[in-house]
Amino acid sequence: MIEDRTVGTMNALGPEKPVTMKQMLEACNHALGGKARLTWVDADFLDKQGVEDRREMPMWDPKYVGISSFANARAIKAGLTLRPIGDTAKDTLAWLETLPEDQRGTARSSGIKPDKEAKVLAAWKART
């Protein structure tokens, strides 16, 4: 970029083409060994169960669909490449593993707690 004297502001956030939440989560799950079982639950049901978007589901906010979308066409046209989401997921997990044990809980503080998740999933499965 410097050699070509390219200047200006560019969003270097990916992916190159828009992906759905499902595609993003499946890519992360696949990159980390496919151990997670993804269950798609209705937003109204989650609301009735008291699941807090953004705090307990950090990547999901039904009120602001597309809020994490960035126009990166200029960066791509300039030749920047974006790393696959799976690589980011693996590297983030590897970084978490380097933290001292007492710091890991703080770093992983967001997200629904396992006991609440189990109750919500049980209620979801019981309704059908």
What is the pLDDT, as a whole number, of residue 101? 87
Query: Which residues are registered as beta bridge partners of 57?
Result: 53
- Separation of alpha carbons 81 and 21, rounded Å: 21
Tell whether the torsion through CA atoms of 77, 10, 91 and 26 is positive or negative.
negative
CA distances from residue 19 to 52, 84, 98 in whole angstroms, order as listed: 23, 12, 30
In order along its 128 residues, the chain shows pLDDT tens digits of 788 888 888 888 878 888 888 899 999 999 999 999 999 998 899 999 999 877 888 777 777 766 667 788 899 988 888 889 999 999 999 999 999 988 887 777 678 989 999 999 999 999 96
Q: Whole-prediction pTM value?
A: 0.77
Structure tokens that stand for 45 in this block: 């049901």
What is the pLDDT, as a whole number, of residue 67? 65
What is the pLDDT, as a whole number, of residue 94? 93
- Separation of alpha carbons 85 and 48, rounded Å: 31
Name the maximum alpha-carbon separation found in the chain.
Answer: 61
What is the pLDDT, as a whole number, of residue 25? 92
CA distances from residue 37 to 40, 64, 85, 122, 124 in whole angstroms, order as listed: 10, 25, 18, 14, 14
